Copies of this chain bind each other. A is one copy, B any other.
Amino acid sequence: MERKIYLENTPLEKAINMFFEKAEGYIKYRKTEKINSQDSLGRMTASPVFAHLSSPHFHAAAMDGIAVKAEKTFKATELNPVRLKKGVDYVEVDTGNPLPEGFNAVIMIEDVVSVDNETVEIIQPAVPYQHVRPIGEDIVATELILPTNHKIRPWDLAALLAAGIDFLEVYKKVEVGIIPTGVELVPAGTVPEIGQIIEFNSHFFAALVKEWGGIPHSYDIVPDEYEVLKKTVEKALSENDFVIINAGSSAGRKDYTSKLISEMGELLIHGIATKPGKPAILGFIQNKPVIGVPGYPVSAYFVMDFFVKPLIAKLNFQQLPYAKKIEAVISRRVVSSLKSEDFIPVKLGKVKEKIVATPINKGAGVIMSLVRADGVMCIPQHIEGIEAGEKIKVELWKSLESIENTVVCIGSHDPLIDIIGDLLSSHYSLFSLSSAHVGSMGGIMALKRGECHAAGIHLLDAETGQYNIPYIKRYLKDNEVLLFHLVERIQGFLVQKGNPLNIKNFADLIRPEVTFINRQKGSGTRLLLDYKLKESGIDSKKIIGYNREEFTHLAVAAEVKAGSAATGLGIMSAAKAMGLDFVPVCSEHYDIAILKEYMNLESVKAFIEIIRSREFKEKAEGLGGYNTEKAGILYYEG
């Protein structure tokens, strides 16, 4: 076993400086092209643009009316109107018409009295050149229309055409080669087998490159073979301004990227002090930048953001738009490494006049953490972590307005929450739902800390056998809380089709051949399990897998589906969704708790309306395992 194990740990800022200092020489010599002005929207001028024609290029009527010779009107007064003869003393003109030869002023139609078909009367003299658009009023031939390095907007394009400029010189758009590598990859659109992974990163990168103003060119997937990769890199370099090699950037056995860059050109950096993003590779071949981007999509995103985004901007001679940042309160403690600068996607919500940021640090492989993120926070290298309640700066990924219009619902996981969110945003385009699955107790604590508007909870009180109310009384006694029914739902064992191990009740869980997958502490389902185990006098230590935790019903179902656990406790819709069988155990109350003070928010009102709607009830019943009879009924105020 021989592998290169250790990467460098270059601080991000240093890496950026080294990279762009070296890239400067290449950036300077940008290619230009002549394009039709009609196609120039969004392009950057590469040289100053001067007008070819004046606009207007003749004296033109600026009003609808009559063109006159001003000197013939000088004597007109209300008492002594002047009569003008058509064709001799006046000519009818519309706005934009050229002033006929020998005429030098325009009288508005409103000030003209028609006498007969050939004669009009006026009662005021015309000043020479009144209501005339003089030649060059807008543009004078030879004047500067646009300077160098100017991004062409719609009105610039209009001015170019008005000035008779049919072609102009712009910078060529940056072309970026994207090479996906890895034997395990299959193209998007293929159904992957075990061990195969859908290659989506090249599409992800291409979309980013497009958004950042470049033209992406993706190449076929390169298996992990040095010579094939080398040929592809050579081709991509000849066809693009710079090249991105995806994956092959960590220190695994078949990771050739850094070796290849070293041999073909110069390897500048391999390994930066960020998390995620550490295995980034920066180098140059034939003076062109070559960037090795890690395979995990969240790592990949940040490496793209750190290096590819500013590189495209520089090559396009455009300023990077300043990232919009806001101050937010962090909702839970985040531990950070002293070895790296940490970049963490966060969800944002506005609750009680403060913006609350909830970190989504699920690891570099979870693309959904970007999908669910509303922004990104950064923890500098020398800081060990941030405590809950501390203020942090967050780079915004959506508008502050849309964050203010978001209902934040934190608590137990149920697919119904997603359905409510979808109905909310499809019926109220202003509003959206942001949900986080932290278990029922997590939801109650989030309500208490003012970090969410609503919490989905199903907490069974072991002493009273009552749902939710005892917990609200205990933990939210200082708040005015409204409790709404959402559904009664059936909990049961998720098992393989046909229930091959014949799992029927809690006692079956301690059979040696039965492996279990559990939910996390603080979830209602975990409480239910512990309540039932205690009731049946079963020792949880005897359950194989009791300590393996998942955060959602669907994740539990997926584990059972994959065979890594024989069963788990969960809801029927999850079993149905994953094609599993379901052994009902009991039903429970799943409620929505809302602080009373939030009920005057339009977004929260809409949220309740959705829960009460026929459409929601139908969709919920359609999933199976839910009774929605009381959905939306307020049944407790505390």
A contacts, CB < 8 Å to B: 1, 3, 5, 37-38, 41, 48, 53-59, 62, 64, 92, 94-98, 104, 109-110, 112, 114, 117, 120, 128-129, 133-150, 153-159, 161-162, 164, 166, 182, 184, 188-189, 191-192, 194-195, 197-198, 200-201, 203-204, 207-208, 210-211, 250-254, 295, 297, 301, 317, 319, 321-322, 362-363, 365-368, 370-371, 399, 401-402, 415, 418-419, 421-422, 425-426, 429-430, 432-433, 548, 550, 552, 554-555, 557-559, 561-562, 564, 577-578
Q: Is the CB of B138 within 8 A of A211?
A: no
CA distance A399 to B548 in the complex (A): 51
B162 pairs with A198, CB closer than 8 A? yes
**Contacting pair B154 A211 (CB below 8 A):** yes
A401–B421 Cα gap in the complex (Å)?
A: 37
Q: Which residues of B contact A192 (CB under 8 A)?
A: 53, 57, 164
Q: In the complex, what residue of chain B is closest to A418 when comparing beta carbons?
A: B144
A371 touches B5 (CB 8 A): no
A153 cross-chain contacts in B, Cβ below 8 A:
207, 211
Instruction: Check A147–B564 contact: CB distance below 8 A.
Output: no
Query: Known: A138-B365, A140-B558, A203-B161. Is A319-B402 also a contact (CB below 8 A)?
Result: yes
For A58, list chain B residues within 8 Å (CB).
194-195, 562
Q: Decide if B366 touches A558 in the complex (CB within 8 Å).
A: no
Q: Measured between C-beta atoms, what is the minimum distance from A310 to chain B in Å? A: 13
> What residues on B are CB-neighbors of A189 within 8 Å?
166
Asked if A253 meets B148 with Cβ closer than 8 Å, knowing A114-B1, A140-B557, A166-B189, the reply is: no
Q: In the complex, which of the residues B129, B138, B317, B418 contacts A548, with contact meaning CB atoms closer than 8 Å? A: B129
Other-chain contact of A154, B92, B208, B548 (Cβ < 8 Å): B208
Are B208 and A62 neighbours in the complex by a CB distance under 8 Å? no
Residues of B within 8 Å of A139, CB to CB, are 367-368
Q: Is the CB of A38 within 8 A of B158?
A: no
Question: Residue A150 contacts which of B38, B148, B251, B425 (CB distance < 8 angstroms)?
Answer: B425
3 closest A-B pairs by beta carbon, nearest first, are A136-B558, A142-B577, A154-B207
Chain B hits for A198, CB < 8 A: 53, 55, 161-162, 164
Asked whether, in the complex, the Cβ of B109 is within 8 Å of the Cβ of A578, the reply is: no
> Which one of B92, B109, B135 contacts A558 once the chains associate, using CB atoms below 8 Å?
B135
New A-B pairs, 10, CB < 8 Å, besides A141-B577, A154-B208, A161-B198: A48-B418, A55-B198, A134-B559, A147-B432, A148-B426, A149-B425, A149-B426, A155-B370, A157-B204, A319-B430
Q: Is the CB of A128 within 8 A of B548?
A: yes
A184 to B561, CA, bound (A): 72
Contact, CB under 8 Å: A578 / B5? no
Of B114, B142, B188, B558, which is within 8 A of A578 by CB? B142
Least CB separation from A93: chain B residue: B252
Complex CA–CA separation, A75 to B536 (angstroms): 34
In the complex, the answer to whether A552 meets B140 with C-beta atoms within 8 Å is yes
Q: Does the CB pair B425–A92 fall under 8 Å? A: no
Complex formed: what's the CA distance from A419 to B142 in Å? 12
Q: Are A92 and B200 in contact (CB under 8 A)?
A: no
List B contacts of A92 (CB < 8 A).
Answer: 1, 253
Given contacts A149-B429, A211-B41, contact A144 B415 (CB under 8 A): yes
A349 to chain B, nearest CB (A): 16
Asked, given contacts A129-B548, A426-B147, whether A301 binds B577 with beta carbons under 8 Å apart, the answer is: no
Say whether, besides A155-B371, A161-B188, A5 and B110 are in contact (CB < 8 Å).
yes
A161 to chain B, nearest CB (A): 4
- Nearest to A66 among chain B residues (CB) is B1
Q: Specify which of B143, B146, B155, B201 is in contact with A297 (CB 8 Å cutoff).
A: B155
Contact partner, A252, options B95, B182, B203, B210, Cβ 8 Å? B95
Distance (whole angstroms) from the CB of A399 to the closest CB of chain B: 7
Partner of A253, one of B94, B96, B162, B577: B94
> CA of A162 to CA of B191 in the docked complex: distance in angstroms?
11
Report the nearest B residue to A104, measured CB to CB: B564
Least CB distance from A246 to B in Å reads 12
A279 nearest in chain B by CB position: B95
Asked if A138 meets B429 with Cβ closer than 8 Å, knowing A96-B184, A155-B301, A158-B297, the reply is no
27 A–B contacts, CB within 8 A, in A order: A1-B112, A1-B117, A48-B426, A58-B194, A58-B195, A109-B251, A129-B548, A135-B564, A136-B554, A136-B562, A137-B365, A139-B367, A139-B368, A140-B554, A140-B557, A141-B554, A141-B558, A142-B554, A143-B415, A143-B418, A144-B421, A144-B422, A149-B429, A158-B201, A159-B371, A164-B198, A319-B429
Determine how close the nearest CB of chain B comes to the CB of A73; give it in whole angstroms.
17
Q: A128 contacts which chain B residues (CB < 8 A)? A: 548
Chain B residue at smallest Cβ distance from A433: B147
B319 contacts A159, C-beta separation under 8 Å: no
Write out the residue numbers on chain B whose beta carbons fall within 8 Å of the beta carbon of A204.
Answer: 154-155, 157-158, 161
Closest to A554 in B: B140
Given known contacts A195-B58, A402-B319, A564-B134, A157 and B365 CB-to-CB distance under 8 angstroms: no
Contact A94 B365 (CB under 8 A): no
| Distance of A305 Cα from B494 Cα, bound (Å) | 56
User: With the chains together, A134 CA to B517 CA distance in Å?
Assistant: 12
Q: How far is the CB of A506 from chain B (nearest CB, A)?
A: 23
